[in-house]
Structure 1
Amino acid sequence: MYFRRSLRRSRTGVTLLSLAALLVSGCSAAESTSSAGSTALAALVALPRATPSALAPYYGQKLSWRGCGVPGFECATLKVPLDYAEPGAGDVRLAVARKKATGPGKRLGSLLVNPGGPGGSAVGYLQQYAGIGYPAGVRARYDMVAVDPRGVARSEPVECLDGRAMDTYTQTDTTPDDQRETGELVDAYKEFAEGCGAHSARLLRHVSTVEAARDMDILRAVLGDGKLTYVGASYGTFLGATYAGLFPNRVGRLVLDGAMDPSLPARRLNLDQTAGFETAFQSFAKDCVTRSDCPLGGKGTAPAEVGENLKAFFRKLDAHPIPTGDPDGRKLGEALATTGVIAAMYDESTWEQLREALTSAIKDKDGAGLLALSDSYYERDADGRYANLMAANAAVNCLDLPAAFSTPDQVEKALPSFEKASPVFGEGLAWASLNCAYWPVRATGEPHRIEAKGAAPIVVVGTTRDPATPYRWARSLAHQLTSARLLTYEGDGHTAYGRGSACIDSAIDTYLLHGTPPRDGKRCK
């Protein structure tokens, strides 16, 4: 599973990972666990308030700030222990960036931001959007700060496959038609996992969300803040909620936008997310058929028929990929086309681009537009280099939860439920859930509740037609957190803050600037 806030204000980047690793990888015997039944799960236990003496050097370190190539921003390196159980076993160096409060008004401290993932670069998000695009009043009063979590981007990134191998991986068929294609998909997952184990063996056991949350507490202390002020989107909500569960007495003003539900095993998370993409696609389909340039149906075409037309197009590509003009010779097959469509589901502002890309592919046999969407999804640049997004995503997910499926036979048995959740995407997303079955290290996490008893009010934000973090997850997390205030956006797209709703933005800005949370249950349209 992969979640990240869209950076569409500054670039095409969307919140994704490969269909070969799109979903959270874990499930336990408690696959039927639901929000209503989460009370049977253990709650995350808070850490002792006193800082262990072995960690004192980390909490007492001084950051050396320097310029980092982007005007107005400065960067530093934070040291954290590789293994919190053995602080003397080595360090991990984390990249930190900040933009100081601009004034006027009294400085309120540091505001840490995280765009999600796991695997999204928080430093990149800060420099490309948050540090210049957050409301001026917020930037005036807070130092805007980001840290790339361990294993991500600039913070000792997990590495798995090189660009050429990644090109092959992203084109692997995730809707196998026979045993041979199933074997090829399994081999691709194994090759990816083996690459991660070979290139990142030291770090692979220590990139969990719990460890990343503990790193954030060291950063909070080093920045001189008594409590953490934080805005996390998508997977960043799981990271922020985990922090609150571990350090409830150090919670300042926390915004968790596009919330995840930590009480669910991954197969259930994957199934819910599959349904979320279907909901988003239905919204796209209803909009598409009202427009003259819809390539999947005209006025009066039912959304279900739009989906059938798209599936028929995918089947054609599976048999006969089409040219893209890519200098590396990549053609548009079913896997890349599906990724491109899913990429556009995260933000309704991309629907026009998707219509144009589909029109070119269907009518003109030109796959360039869908390939561009897919490449933005994977963070592949024009030179064929990939960010470590997919590697970090799999590394964190496969450590946080046990594998969703252990064998292809288990996927086969689950296909009907996934295809019911999404006739368009269900098959591919079911097979995507197999990726962590072959991971080189065992998972250390399990589904759990997060209560954060004693924490200050925490704002949990949910969007009713969010494709990647379904609204029910926000309701569940808000129910678990003892001090949560649920803020609802009735609309489309992934996350809500800063996406055009004055009602949402005003509620969150008031909370960040004045400490006054919205009333629980507030709804915005």
Structure 2
Amino acid sequence: MPSLPGTLDSMRKLLPVALILAAGCQAAPPAVPQTGQPRTDTSIAWAPCGPRECATLEVPLDHARPQGERITLALTRMPARDPGKRLGSLVFNPGGPGATGLDFPRVLTRAHDTLGERYDLIGYDPRGVGESSPVRCLTKEDLAIAFAADPTPDTDREKDDAFAAARKVATACEKAAGPLLPYLGTRNHARDLDRIRQALGEDKLTAFGLSWGGSLMATYADLFPGKVGRLVLDSPGNPTLSQFEVIRLQMAGTEKGLRRFADACGARADCPIGATGEEVLERFDRFLDRGLPVGELTEPAARLAVLYGLYRPDGWPKLENALAKAYKGDGRPMLEMSAWLAGGSQESGFSNFQDANMAVNCADYTERYGRRDLDRLAAKIAVDSPRFGPSSVWQTLLNCAYWPKSADPHAGRLSGAGAPPILIVGNTGDPDGVYEYASDLAGQLSSARLLTWDGDRHGAYGGKNACVDAAVDAYLLKGALPGPGSRCR
């Protein structure tokens, strides 16, 4: 699943101090030179824009043809507040794929407050996203139709309609995006990152990637191991799995997250949606089966709202109240929550988050599924994820059924041989990024060190756990890795 544009909008500093439950830290070889002032041979012309600086950078549409057609990337910079101790540039990617990253270094307040003293904090919109040659195929009407569609088609007519809609979207995307569409895969994004590194005047890339952003950093390390500085992969996806396996693991994590949410609410005397965890789940199941639509709130929108609400425990009260109101006939709070995951809000309209998310995923994966495939996989995933699995199979795998061939899809397992130490942070209770992604990726990348957090939200760094924050800061500022097997509680 995507990481949300609004996931980091209310991060707070943590007051209690936690400890890394391991024997000390291992010092990594300094991967980022003490560069002082940046080199002047940069091709980026920065200009003031509000609390930051802004610029654009042209990169090849097809990196195999560097002299060919160009596309434009939008970037932001917050210069290091202590230039005399400047370490270099720190590039951020918030994930998605499809999330805008222009403001990410600013809203990730831990990074702004702690790392911004010594790093230039660089945000950017990846290709196809936001202000970077955006791909737009879905109108508001298309989104409305998608939100009204049956997420688990049962009859031949419903399945025919679903495939017809997928064909229509693919055709619209191809027409709107033109030559860009086959070049939106993660490997092309990684090559863009190297162009950004060069334009910033940095010998090595130092970067922080959340969720899909972590997958992107892993791909970069595999393609450019000699250009790696310090890379943090926070709750990364795993770009080496099949698309179905990604969905299977994600939805199993979501089911577990829903169970934790239900048990936590049901254990309280003031829970507005059930007296016990089981009652919370039973009432939710009845609502999905027979209680929808509620006004404009459809079943797909309700499912999206729950996914959004489960991302972090401090969002659970909002989900409780939204469900309670929906059960009483007011679907507006859940509709607004679903709009965030769709990449916008009811008031401000929608970004191109869904367009870009779909485009990157369809460019990354070569599998194209037919009706029998989807029926079989929906039944298979229902074993571990009966509430969310079948709908995710139909809604996600069907998206790519008529997509054009990718110019550079995922290429199997990663290695990154020769890269300096890389830090991966995984959360055991992550409802979306899934801890298995992080642990498997740590086994693939030859220089990776895994830090485990026993947390239950998506994304670890940035005011959620002082132990994690201290470890990430120490790595980025000093090159110090947590010891093998380190765990944060």
The TM-score normalised by the length of structure 2 is 0.90
Counterpart of 2:283 in 1: which secondary structure? Answer: helix
Question: Residues 411 and 430 of structure 1 are in contact (CA less than 8 Å); yes or no, is this contact kept in structure 2?
Answer: yes
Match of 1:177 in 2: 154
* 1:60–1:89 distance in 2 versus 1, CA, 3 Å: farther
Question: Residues 42 and 200 of structure 2 are in contact (CA less than 8 Å); yes or no, is this contact kept in structure 1?
Answer: no
Provide the rounded CA distance (Å) in 2 between the counterparts of 1:333 and 1:342.
14
Q: Deviations over 1:334-388 (max 9, x none)?
A: 11111111111111111000000011111x2100110010111112333573101
Counting only pairs closer than 5 Å after superposition, residues 273-292 of structure 1 correspond to structure 2 as 273-292=250-269
Question: Residues 370 and 401 of structure 2 are in contact (CA less than 8 Å); yes or no, is this contact kept in structure 1?
Answer: no
Q: Deviations over 1:135-168 (max 9, x none)?
A: 5231100000012111111101001022222222
Match of 1:457 in 2: 421
Question: Residues 115 and 234 of structure 1 are in contact (CA less than 8 Å); yes or no, is this contact kept in structure 2?
Answer: yes
Counterpart of 2:484 in 1: which secondary structure? Answer: coil
**Is residue 414 from structure 1 mapped to residue 386 from structure 2 by the alignment?**
no
**Is residue 64 from structure 1 mapped to residue 59 from structure 2 by the alignment?**
no
**Is residue 269 from structure 1 mapped to residue 246 from structure 2 by the alignment?**
yes
Counterpart of 2:246 in 1: which secondary structure? Answer: helix
Residue 306 of structure 1 deviates from its aligned partner by: 3.4
Moved more, 152-161 or 164-173: 164-173
Identity %: 38
Residue 133 of structure 1 deviates from its aligned partner by: 4.4
Question: Residues 4 and 341 of structure 2 are in contact (CA less than 8 Å); yes or no, is this contact kept in structure 1?
Answer: no
**Is residue 336 from structure 1 mapped to residue 301 from structure 2 by the alignment?**
yes
1:322 corresponds, among 282, 294, 297, to 294
Provide the rounded CA distance (Å) in 1 between the counterparts of 2:238 and 2:484.
18
**Is residue 86 from structure 1 mapped to residue 61 from structure 2 by the alignment?**
no
Question: Residues 72 and 133 of structure 2 are in contact (CA less than 8 Å); yes or no, is this contact kept in structure 1?
Answer: yes
* 1:5–1:379 distance in 2 versus 1, CA, 3 Å: closer
Provide the rounded CA distance (Å) in 2 between the counterparts of 1:382 and 1:414.
33
Match of 1:388 in 2: 352
Question: Residues 42 and 201 of structure 2 are in contact (CA less than 8 Å); yes or no, is this contact kept in structure 1?
Answer: no
1:193 corresponds, among 159, 170, 174, to 170
Counterpart of 1:500 in 2: which secondary structure? Answer: coil
Residue 60 of structure 1 deviates from its aligned partner by: 6.6
Counterpart of 1:517 in 2: which secondary structure? Answer: strand
2:391 corresponds, among 418, 428, 442, to 428
Provide the rounded CA distance (Å) in 1 between the counterparts of 2:214 and 2:147.
27
Counting only pairs closer than 5 Å after superposition, residues 338-487 of structure 1 correspond to structure 2 as 338-362=303-327, 364-383=328-347, 385-403=349-367, 406-443=369-406, 444-446=408-410, 448-487=412-451
- The AA in structure 1 aligned to 2:2 is Y
Counting only pairs closer than 5 Å after superposition, residues 504-515 of structure 1 correspond to structure 2 as 504-515=468-479
Q: Deviations over 1:15-41 (max 9, x none)?
A: xxxxxxxxxxxxxxxxxxxxxxxxxxx
Q: Deviations over 1:256-295 (max 9, x none)?
A: 0002222211111111111111111111111110123434
Provide the rounded CA distance (Å) in 1 between the counterparts of 2:138 and 2:263.
39
Counterpart of 2:482 in 1: which secondary structure? Answer: coil
Provide the rounded CA distance (Å) in 2 between the counterparts of 1:492 and 1:309.
23
Question: Residues 60 and 67 of structure 2 are in contact (CA less than 8 Å); yes or no, is this contact kept in structure 1?
Answer: yes
Match of 2:214 in 1: 237
Provide the rounded CA distance (Å) in 1 between the counterparts of 2:426 and 2:458.
9
Match of 2:79 in 1: 100
Match of 2:275 in 1: 298
* 1:447–1:349 distance in 2 versus 1, CA, 3 Å: farther
Listed as ranges, the gaps of 5+ residues in structure 1 are 12-58, 324-330
- The AA in structure 2 aligned to 1:7 is T
2:233 corresponds, among 256, 262, 266, to 256
Provide the rounded CA distance (Å) in 1 between the counterparts of 2:90 and 2:177.
31
Provide the rounded CA distance (Å) in 1 between the counterparts of 2:314 and 2:92.
23
Question: Residues 304 and 338 of structure 2 are in contact (CA less than 8 Å); yes or no, is this contact kept in structure 1?
Answer: yes
Provide the rounded CA distance (Å) in 1 between the counterparts of 2:398 and 2:42.
39
Question: Residues 4 and 340 of structure 2 are in contact (CA less than 8 Å); yes or no, is this contact kept in structure 1?
Answer: no
Counterpart of 1:310 in 2: which secondary structure? Answer: helix
Counterpart of 1:492 in 2: which secondary structure? Answer: coil
Provide the rounded CA distance (Å) in 1 between the counterparts of 2:173 and 2:112.
39
Q: Deviations over 1:448-480 (max 9, x none)?
A: 111111111000110001111110111100001
Provide the rounded CA distance (Å) in 1 between the counterparts of 2:152 and 2:144.
18
Question: Residues 362 and 403 of structure 2 are in contact (CA less than 8 Å); yes or no, is this contact kept in structure 1?
Answer: no
Provide the rounded CA distance (Å) in 2 between the counterparts of 1:274 and 1:524.
25
Listed as ranges, the gaps of 5+ residues in structure 2 are 12-39
Question: Residues 163 and 384 of structure 1 are in contact (CA less than 8 Å); yes or no, is this contact kept in structure 2?
Answer: no
Match of 2:21 in 1: none
Q: Deviations over 1:394-428 (max 9, x none)?
A: 1111011123x511221111223211121221221
Residue 61 of structure 1 deviates from its aligned partner by: 5.8
Residue 307 of structure 1 deviates from its aligned partner by: 2.9
Counterpart of 1:358 in 2: which secondary structure? Answer: helix
Provide the rounded CA distance (Å) in 2 between the counterparts of 1:247 and 1:97.
23
Provide the rounded CA distance (Å) in 2 between the counterparts of 1:261 and 1:382.
32
Question: Residues 5 and 343 of structure 2 are in contact (CA less than 8 Å); yes or no, is this contact kept in structure 1?
Answer: no
Provide the rounded CA distance (Å) in 2 between the counterparts of 1:92 and 1:285.
47
